[in-house]
Amino acid sequence: MKYCLNVYSIKNGFLSKEKLNMKQANKITGAEIVIKALIDQGVDTVFGYPGGAILPIYDELFQQKKIKHILVRHEQAATHAAEGYARSTGKIGVVFVTSGPGATNSVTGLTDALMDSVPIVVISGQVPTFMIGNDAFQEADTVGITRPCTKHNWLVKDTEKLAEIIHKAFEVAGSGRPGPVLVDVPKDVQFASGHYTKKNEIDTSFIKQEPSIDLNMLDEVIDRLELAERPIIYSGGGVINSGSSAIHLLRNLVAGTNFPITSTLLGLGSYPASGKNWLGMLGMHGTYEANMAMHGCDFMLCIGARFDDRITGRIDAFSPDSYKVHIDIDPSSVNKNITVEAPLIGDVGNIFNSLINRWKERGAKVNKKKLSAWWKSVNDWKEIKSLSYENSSNVIKPQYAVQRLEELTKSYDRFVSTEVGQHQMWAAQFLGFEEPNRWMTSGGLGTMGYGFPASIGIQVAHPKSLVINVAGEASWLMNMQELGTAVQYRLPVKQFILNNERLGMVRQWQELLHGERYSHSWSDALPDFVKLAEAYGIKGIRCESPDKLDDSIQEMIEYPGPVIFDCHVDPSENCFDNDDCVYCSTDPDVVNATITTITANNSHYISWDDVGTTATNGVNTGIITALGAARGAYDVQFRWAVGNNPLSAWEDYEYVGGSIDGQSCVVSTRIPAGTDNLYGVFLNYSVPTLPGGGTGAYNTGAKWQLRVSNKCSDCDNGDFLETPVLTIT
């Protein structure tokens, strides 16, 4: 006797009844397959928003207890929440969205995850297969749209292949360089029946296997490491992605070599901020010592970073004299921006293990004598105190606000996310992270609106931890609707808003580069954040006074639910190294000038220095050091006289070409320098035209005087430091 079962299925858009034997009855719906596959993958949390094309999956979600669903208020927020969840746990984040606008709203989060190497799986609903291409309601070419912003994506047209594809999606998201994937599931595939395939039954041979380590190149790297006079370790987010073993090995390598270490924005926490070898973050908003060390090193060990433009500045001037080693799991990231001498492709942990073991076999040697001298230079750069700022007793400086937040929260089990802008950089500069996976921010894409939903994903994963989102008011408003999510799920996330009533980073660059024309960078209509909090039934705190800041922060910490902290800060602050550059604190009377005859090219050379600057190879480096520290140009002027004529009026020195870039930053053309020398001004006898347009030769008896502003162009112009009047003899 045959045992049969009546089963209903979708055919050509219509419900049909079939009689199936027991073998066929083992089939389950596509929607069930999705949920079963997620459980098989160990998924415990999904962030999403329902819609028509994904309703069968949501119906199955309703009928199970193993997966928690977090209902966000916007699909972009779902992807950022999944990113926060993934980065704080090391797991893969999962998102549900519907077709059309649901899927397109996820594109920003997918792109953000791709650039920052965050593993997430987005499962999107799609219109039925027979409607695809017909401009059906809420239809969009999801696979086509997301192809450039995912590691891989699939359109599933056969329910029998659904389980296999989902398992492969998780494998792709988490393997190699992690990243986002998308699985687009038409509605009829969700309704139709198919067999379930278990995770361990999937062939994953399509995943590219890690290449073997080039032992000859490894030995060459160790040769260079042992002899290095000015080494530095440059770590990135790839170290954290590689896992706890890689973190442990990195710290062992730093301890064993005593090399200084710096990090990218996404690499913070891979080495403890309290560690004695830590130079702070590098790059455009990094510390002076980190950038000077990168520029001046002779051996660079880059691990899990990609030499992006915020680190390199001008690539033709980036660390010009160093032997560069690049360890990365992604071959496409190697030699993409910066050409390196030693590419080592593979998992950071595996390569680290091989490198350290081989180095120890050879005696664990370093160039201790030269390394000691290198550390002296590094410590001298540290004395610049590039992150210092002038505090105020009247207004809250944003740097001070973050410093106090650090001091009052560092003893807690703390996770921090940020939005994007000035506040993000201040958080990176002034918050210290001792462990990885505690710092979540948008790096490569710079996504405003990232931080709030990310903090929700973090808090879901770590319900008993202190989760703080350091935000700017403009960026925070981009996903403010997630207040509803925080309230609904009783998530005690703290929104620490540095409110400067500006689009701070935009305003900053308009000030510096666009003649202070503040085109649409003012926030003219901001909400009352305290009342906004109250409207959602949560706590709002406003702080406008430095002397009340500590108590207000403590109140935020101790409140058991979500909080909006409206911290009003100085709107004029800019986010870069201290405005008091090297020369900004130098008195005019310490500037000395000498004149030297250089007979080789029949010219005179005016050089200058400041007290306390040591000479290198007989050439004083005072000015280049000062200008490099400034990250900008000095105002430079000169005047002259021929014979007994009085000195001319001060003229601006316009030197076209050349740059001074201790930070590898492009500097203004107002720097005085000879073409091949950055320490002074050449006066050539043979030039018949005087600077500024006058005529005549530089004859004996000609007088010359130079003055340099004691504040760089990134600061307010200050007093000029004048050389003595120099007479050519």
| Residue 202: φ, ψ to 5° | -90, 135
Closest CA to 214 of 305, 136, 326, 114: 326
| Residue 139: φ, ψ to 5° | -95, 135
Q: What angle do CA 512, 514, 515 make, to 5 degrees?
A: 80
Q: Is 27 marked active-site? A: no
In this structure, are residues 200 and 171 in contact, taking their beta carbons and an 8 Å threshold? no
Beta pairing partners, 299: 231, 323
In this structure, are residues 358 and 219 in contact, taking their beta carbons and an 8 Å threshold? yes
**For 279, how many CA atoms within 13 A lie in the half-sphere containing its CB?**
32
Q: Going by C-beta distance under 8 Å and a sequence separation of 6 or more, which residues neighbour residue 337?
A: 306, 307, 308, 309, 312, 315
Question: Which two three-digit tokens encode residue 525?
Answer: 């209509």
In this structure, are residues 236 and 262 in contact, taking their beta carbons and an 8 Å threshold? no
**Number of neighbours of residue 727 by Cβ within 10 angstroms:** 12
SS3 294: helix
In this structure, are residues 564 and 539 in contact, taking their beta carbons and an 8 Å threshold? yes
- Among 284, 292, 294, 505, the active-site one is 505
- Among 36, 187, 539, 711, the active-site one is 187
CB environment 10-39: b (16+ within 10 A), e (fewer)? beeeeeeeeebeeeeeebbbbbbbbbbbbe
Q: Is 62 marked active-site? A: no
How distant is the alpha carbon of residue 407 from its chain centre? 23
H-helix or E-strand spanning residue 110:
helix 107-116
Query: With the C-alpha atoms ordered 620, 626, 627, 633, is the resulting torsion angle positive or negative?
Result: negative
Query: With the C-alpha atoms ordered 550, 555, 558, 562, is the resulting torsion angle positive or negative?
Result: negative
In this structure, are residues 402 and 427 in contact, taking their beta carbons and an 8 Å threshold? yes
- Among 24, 130, 131, 138, the active-site one is 138
Residue carrying structure tokens 């950022």: 80
In this structure, are residues 688 and 696 in contact, taking their beta carbons and an 8 Å threshold? yes
- Among 18, 19, 66, 137, the active-site one is 137
Closest CA to 322 of 368, 358, 374: 374
Question: Which two three-digit tokens encode residue 57?
Answer: 């999956």
113 vs 130: CA distance, rounded Å: 32
Beta pairing partners, 504: none
Q: Is 399 marked active-site? A: no
In this structure, are residues 85 and 414 in contact, taking their beta carbons and an 8 Å threshold? no
- Among 32, 75, 164, 171, the active-site one is 75
337 vs 721: CA distance, rounded Å: 40
DSSP state of 119: -
Length of the chain: 729
In this structure, are residues 720 and 590 in contact, taking their beta carbons and an 8 Å threshold? no
Q: Is 307 marked active-site? A: no
**Number of neighbours of residue 388 by Cβ within 10 angstroms:** 12
Question: Which two three-digit tokens encode residue 626?
Answer: 């000062």
Closest CA to 270 of 302, 297, 301, 238: 238
SS3 427: helix
Q: Is 505 marked active-site? A: yes
Beta pairing partners, 9: 16
Closest CA to 467 of 556, 385, 383: 556
Q: Going by C-beta distance under 8 Å and a sequence separation of 6 or more, which residues neighbour residue 62?
A: none
In this structure, are residues 467 and 87 in contact, taking their beta carbons and an 8 Å threshold? no
185 vs 34: CA distance, rounded Å: 9
What dihedral angle (degrees, nearest 10) is formed by the CA atoms of 35, 36, 41, 46? 20
571: left (phi over 0), alpha (psi -120 to 50) or beta: alpha
Q: Which residues are catalytic?
A: 75, 137-138, 187, 505
